[in-house]
Amino acid sequence: MIEKTKDVNHGIFNQQINKLFYSVFPSPIGLMYAVATDHGVCRLTYDVSDEAFETDLMNRYGRPAEYASSSPLLQSLENQMTQYFMGALTRFDIPLDFLEGTPFYRRVWRAQQKIPFGQVCSYKWVAEQVGKPRAARAVGQANRRSCISILVP
């Protein structure tokens, strides 16, 4: 039986998550818990207990993730996060898996990835960029529901 999860590319519930893995690393804002699939980073959580993190994984994905600190993807993320917190990195170069987003949320997050570091844009502007000029509140909801908010401003 196929496990019902969101299709990484199309936002539909028909693709099985073949692999879910995570790593933990220190940061100035607390321990960072990074979760990824074979397609990219799908969740970034910080300043939570191990128990809360594990419970969250079970609630969101229905299963635990495999600890994979030696994953090249997660090692690259850790290195880039370190550079970011040191002020030496202004754009992340990490594959992302918008696993938990609706098609609209994904368009919002992709549009926000294009905003230059340090630039501030209104929700209205982002809504216009995704072709929904009257959806500023929905853009705000997409931001609130982002699971990778540091990686996608």
Q: Give the three-state DSSP class for 1.
A: coil
Q: How far apart are CA 151 and CA 92, in angstroms?
A: 7
Quick one: 69 and 7 in the same domain? yes
Specify the pTM.
0.83
3's tokens: 């496990």
Structural domain boundaries, residue 130? 103-145
Q: Which residues, in sequence order, are CB contacts of 67 under 8 Å at separation 6+?
A: 21, 22, 23
The domain tally of the chain equals 2
Query: CB-side exposure of 138: number of CA atoms within 13 Å?
Result: 16
Count other C-beta atoms under 10 Å from residue 34's C-beta.
27
Same-domain status, 111 and 91: no
Q: Are 94 and 41 in contact (CB under 8 A)?
A: yes
Average pLDDT per run of 10 along the chain, which is 153 residues long? Answer: 35 56 95 94 93 91 88 96 96 92 94 92 97 98 93 88
**Using N-to-C axis directions, what is the helix angle for 136-145 and 103-113, rounded to 10°?**
90
pLDDT over 70 percentage in the chain: 88
Give yes or no: residues 56 and 121 share one domain. no
Residue 130 shares a structural domain with residue 85: no
Q: Residue 127: which CATH number?
A: 1.10.10.10
